[in-house]
Each structure stands twice: as C-alpha cells, then as structure tokens.
Structure 1
C-alpha cells in the first residue's frame, strides 16, 4: 500500500538592514530595547492527540529553518532528530527555532516501510529573491524504525515498535545564496510511504 502526505517548509531571512555581521549587535540591542517589560505574565498550554489508523501516514510537524542572516552565502544544516538543531556555515547567523518535519505512521511490527523523499533528495523554497534549495534531504526514523538501507530517494526501514506506530523526521541542508533577498521563503514537498 502506498500513502503520500505533503509537508510545508519555511526559512526566514531577517532583512531589516542587518545583513552585515558587524550590524548584528545593533540588531540584538534594538530587539532588546524594543521589547516591552511586563510586571506579570501568564502562560497557556495546548494539548493535542493524533489518531493514526493502520497503513496510514500523517504529518505531525512542518519543517522550519528559523531566521537567517547571511553575509556571503552558505548553508544551514538542520538535523532530523527529536531535538533538532541548526548548524550554520561561517557566513551565516541563525536564530529562532529549528524544527524537523515529523510524520507519523501505523503499520505492523516487523514489516518493512519504504520512505520516499522528494525526487533528487531536494526541496525548492521560493520567496522574494532567487530560489533556495534544501539539498540533500535527510531522514531519521529511530527508535520506532530500524534502518535497513537507502537507494536513491528510497529509505527502507523495518517497524520495530511492537504497536506498529512510528515517527520519522525530515531535515536537510539549506543552501543560502550570497546576497539572498530578505523575506520569507516557503515550499511544499511530498513524502510517500510504501508498506510491505
């Protein structure tokens, strides 16, 4: 059985005149000064549940690279881990939350699943400037799935969770161009899972 689900990705590039590394301190100081102080605060929490049916796939979280300031172009590597991190190259400053895309599925323990990432293992982001690309796309599926092998864009895993329920995460390397136009860059991608 084949199931396909789409995800959404985003990468924000801060463009308020602070693209040069020397201006970073000014941007941070401005952000601190312009943040209002409150004498008291309260927090609200949300709760949610995801219902999975056998031989299904559901998107749980979107892929998000956070905010980026570039000074000559470079890369941001987002790890597809439960606690994802973003590792920027030398000419990139990164801030904000990194979030790997998360998908949930339900099959039968011991059976194989083939996770097919986008063609070419790449995702294109469009925005106000030249397109940016996530290349290569990476997959992490433990502890619910045991990695077997990868051929091209196919990632073969065995379901090891006795319940048959599993999560896997999508990350990758964002390629940021030199003098990338500031603004919001977004894209969509399809993930396909074949159950065997």
Structure 2
C-alpha cells in the first residue's frame, strides 16, 4: 500500500486520528458503542501502520501474514453480530479488505499483487466500488437537512450531552467516513 511519501503520511495521520477517536469512544456508557469502537480502533491503527511509507518501515512477510490472521479473526468476530444487525456488515467488509491487502503484501511486497498489467484485479475493483459508495453515502448522511445556521456555522444536535465526546453521532459518522476514505486510497494505491 506504500504510495508517495506525502500521500502515505496523510493516510497514516487520517487513520491514526480515526483510531485515536475510536479509543475515546470506548469510554461510552453504551455497551454496543464501546464494542464497535474497539473494532474500529483496531481498523484505524492497522490501516495507519499499513500505510507507513516503505522508506520508514519495510516489514518482513511474516508481519503481513500476522496482519491477515488478526483481521480475519476480527472479521469473524464481527460477522457473528452482523447476522442479527446488518449494519455490522460494513465492518466485516473492512476486515476482509484488510485481509486481502495483507495477502497482497505477502504475494508482492510492493502491494501490487494480482496485477499483471491487464487492469484492476476483480476483488480490488469490487472493494473500490464498495468503499467509493460508502464514502458517498456517508458524506451525504453528514450533510444536514434543514440545519439551523447561526453566524455561518451549522448547529448539530446530540452534541455535548452526558456522554461527551464518546457519544457524538456526527463524530462517529465522520470517523467512519475518514476510515472509508483511507481504505479507498489504500485500494487505489494497490491497483
């Protein structure tokens, strides 16, 4: 997934920042929120490490195999609640995308596995379409419909209640949007 230096560092910052916010969300009073935040923190930090420029770190193949195992386990862990609550399917797809990219790094340490010059591999293309759609949908959900505008700034509801930063739904959406954008960028770098 190693891209140009500045793009890689932007990805690292985006993903690590999202992971850090997810750690804050683990302080929520709502159990489901804490459980989901833990998985998203793992995803954010995992993506940040994967996006590090090759000039900084060039992990051995065994690390990528470990990555694939960790994210396969995370995908299985998330798949169990997804059978009752389809909203968890996004997390399963994200974990599987991490497994796919980890396996690509094992097959070709430059991150371009399965690419024989004939275009984008099928799995990469399907994941690109999925995450592009998720980015567009998430962005549309963030745009307030009929929001009250005071002094040029939108007023968001559900903000600084008793849960504080951990339970702000708009920040959760922004975090998920940021991680989907990061995943999309990593997949583009792969193709």
TM-score by length of 2: 0.25
Which structure has more helix as a fraction of its residues? 2
Larger radius of gyration: 1
Which structure has more strand as a fraction of its residues? 1
TM-score by length of 1: 0.24
